[in-house]
Structure formats: structure tokens, C-alpha cells
């Protein structure tokens, strides 16, 4: 069974701090995605990583795909209140039906 486990589940930090969110699995994924969900809205795709060891940057957000394609991390530098939200990692089912497996999410609160 493919599972994605995220840690931590909750994170409350002050503006300007750095943080890292982890997404781990015992299964190999062809790619992993990161979504952000703001309160009262649906998740929105931030990035997809497809190559083992790949690093992608989106302004202050850095995403990394593990060499073995079993894990990924999201690092935020100098967090802002606008980064507040639920961060979800997701990966495709092995059967490639278009379905995704989601981690349980990391709720981030950045206080001014």
C-alpha cells in the first residue's frame, strides 16, 4: 500500500523564521507534488518534482525530491504571514489512473 506521511502535522512560527516540512514514503513515486490550501479554499498546486535529487525553487520556497524518489521536503526561508495554510504532498498511484495519494497535511501558522 502506498502511503505518504508528512511531518510535522502542525507548525506555528514567527515571521522571519525558516522551516522545513517533510513528506516520506516507503514506496517509490514517479513524481511528487506539493499543494497549498488557504483557509476556505481548495488546494492549489505549487510544484511537481519528477527527477530523483531534483531541487525546485519558488521564491522563498525550496522543494527537493529525494534521490531514491521516496521522499520530498519543502523548505521556507524567512516565512511570511501570507505563507499560512495547509501544505499537502501528493503522489500518483502506481496504476497511473490519474488518482493521487495525499499526505495528511502540515498546517503552518506564521505569526506577524
Is 82 near another protein (CB under 8 A)?
no
Query: Least separation, in Å, of the C-beta of 63 and another protein?
Result: 15
Residue 8's DSSP bridge partners are: none
> With CB under 8 A as the contact rule, which of the stretches 11-19, 59-67, 68-76, 92-100 interacts with another protein?
92-100
* Contact residue for another protein among 34, 61, 87, 105 (CB under 8 A): 105
Integer angstrom CA distances of residue 77 from 4, 30, 98 = 24, 27, 32
How far apart are the C-alpha atoms of 73 and 47, rounded to whole Å? 12
Query: Least separation, in Å, of the C-beta of 34 and another protein?
Result: 11
Give me the sign of the Cα torsion angle 92, 45, 11, 30. Answer: positive
Query: Least separation, in Å, of the C-beta of 49 and another protein?
Result: 12
**Residue 37 Cα to chain centre, angstroms:** 11
Is 42 near another protein (CB under 8 A)?
yes
How far apart are the C-alpha atoms of 82 and 23, rounded to whole Å? 22
Number of residues that bind another protein (CB under 8 A): 21
Where along the sequence are the contacts to another protein (CB under 8 A)?
9, 31, 33, 40-45, 48, 88, 90, 92, 97-100, 102-105
Amino acid at each position: 500500500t502506498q502511503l505518504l506521511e508528512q511531518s510535522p502535522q502542525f507548525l506555528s512560527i514567527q515571521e522571519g523564521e525558516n522551516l522545513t516540512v517533510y513528506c516520506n514514503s516507503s514506496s517509490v513515486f514517479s513524481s511528487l507534488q506539493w499543494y497549498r490550501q488557504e483557509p476556505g479554499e481548495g488546494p492549489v498546486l505549487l510544484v511537481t518534482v519528477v527527477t530523483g535529487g531534483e531541487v525546485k525553487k519558488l521564491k522563498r520556497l525550496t522543494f527537493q525530491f529525494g534521490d531514491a524518489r521516496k521522499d520530498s521536503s519543502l523548505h521556507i526561508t524567512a516565512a511570511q504571514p501570507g505563507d499560512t495554510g495547509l501544505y499537502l504532498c501528493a503522489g500518483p498511484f502506481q496504476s497511473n489512473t490519474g488518482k493521487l495519494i495525499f499526505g495528511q497535511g502540515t498546517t503552518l501558522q506564521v505569526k506577524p
